[in-house]
Structure 1
């Protein structure tokens, strides 16, 4: 039924201006459309929808994941230079800000509302 249909990530935020600054400037996502309640950003061949909600940041799991391949260290360095702070989790091997599990590399960071965003080398 849905296997041939596109999907998009959707993230709740409390402050649309602050979210636009983060997603457009810090993460470098082009704004496709938007108003004071909903924005859509381009991310690869899909979209990231950001909307205003009083429940923003209440999800304690990954909200969005990007598979960035071999560019993970470069992207992490670029984001860190823009002030992004990465999460460090216990009981996982950590090299700098990148968690390592065999050949799998991953990082987590939060948007200004505390939504958990994830990058990996897949």
Structure 2
């Protein structure tokens, strides 16, 4: 039934202007705004919908993963832009990258508290 639809993902925020500034200014994404919602333009052609929600509760899981070729370089660049990485495990290095299981990954939050990650390809 849905095998040929172009599905897309979305998540809520409590402050659309703050989210737009973060996703454009800090992460450098192209972002469209329409009807009070954002569309994050990411590679692959399927946008991610970011919508306002008055009683927003941040997701307790990773809402968006950004694959990167060099996670150390990406972590340093994000840190220089003011991003603080989350600390979940003793296995994370000084940059906040977990390298003990699976591909190297580091987590951070958007202004609404949603968890995002960079993950090495």
**Same fold judged by TM-score > 0.5?**
yes
CA RMSD of aligned residues (A): 1.9
What is the CA-CA distance between 1:56 and the residue it aligns to? 2.6
What is the CA-CA distance between 1:12 and the residue it aligns to? 0.7
Partner Cα distance (2:112, 2:13) in 1: 6
Q: Within 5 Å, which residues of 2 pair with 1:51-90? A: 51-68=51-68, 70-90=69-89
Gaps of 5+ in 2: none
Q: Within 5 Å, which residues of 2 pair with 1:93-104? A: 93-96=91-94, 97-102=96-101, 104=103
Which stretch of the first structure deviates more once superposed, 96-105 or 81-90? Answer: 96-105
What is the CA-CA distance between 1:103 and the residue it aligns to? 6.1
Gaps of 5+ in 1: none
- SS of equivalent residue, structure 1 residue 64: strand
What is the CA-CA distance between 1:3 and the residue it aligns to? 4.2
Is the CA contact (8 Å cut-off) linking 1:10 and 1:48 kept in structure 2?
Answer: yes
What is the CA-CA distance between 1:16 and the residue it aligns to? 1.2
- SS of equivalent residue, structure 1 residue 63: strand
CA deviations on 1:24-63 (whole Å, 9 max, x unpaired) are: 11011101x3135211121111322111112334321111
TM-score by length of 1: 0.84
Partner Cα distance (1:79, 1:55) in 2: 29
Partner Cα distance (2:103, 2:110) in 1: 23
Give the equivalent residue in structure 1 for 2:114: 115
TM-score by length of 2: 0.85
Give the equivalent residue in structure 1 for 2:26: 26
Relative to 1, partners in 2 of residues 1:121 and 1:52: Cα closer, same or farther, differing over 3 Å?
A: same
Moved over 2 A (4+): 1-9, 55-58
Give the equivalent residue in structure 2 for 1:9: 9
Q: Relative to total residues, which structure has the larger strand share, 1 or 2?
A: 1
